[in-house]
Amino acid sequence: MYNGRPMRMIIANRLNDGRVVFYKAGGGWDIDIAAGAVIEVEAEEAGLFAAAKADEAGCKVVDPQLIDVQVDGGKPRPVAIREAIRAFGPTI
């Protein structure tokens, strides 16, 4: 938590193969959540999300979403079970 707000990341599915990807700080997307941008400052959110949406219009990804994460030992982890399963794969 930072200033009482959860940290966020941007998650989406890649258009061509459906794989779950995370938006990176410098632009682009990565399958590994650890490579994704962790947004700690609310003011940064809008800009990054706009860039993510532009990638949707540009047919790179589908349905970018902002999700809450917590960071443990430097590794981000989605707060919601559903997003954690998307990030790390099926539990069985």
Binding site for other proteins (CB under 8 A): 13, 15-20, 56-59, 62-63, 79-82, 85-86, 89-92
Nearer to other proteins, 14 or 24 (CB): 14
Q: Rounded to the nearest whole angstrom, what is the least distance from the CB of residue 63 to other proteins in the complex?
A: 7
Distance of CA 76 to CAs 6, 17, 58, 65, 83, Å? 12, 24, 27, 16, 12
Dihedral sign for Cα atoms in the order 70, 72, 78, 81: negative
Nearer to other proteins, 15 or 38 (CB): 15
Q: Rounded to the nearest whole angstrom, what is the least distance from the CB of residue 2 to other proteins in the complex?
A: 20
Q: Rounded to the nearest whole angstrom, what is the least distance from the CB of residue 44 to other proteins in the complex?
A: 25
Provide the total of helices (H) and of strands (E) in the chain, helices listed first: 2, 5
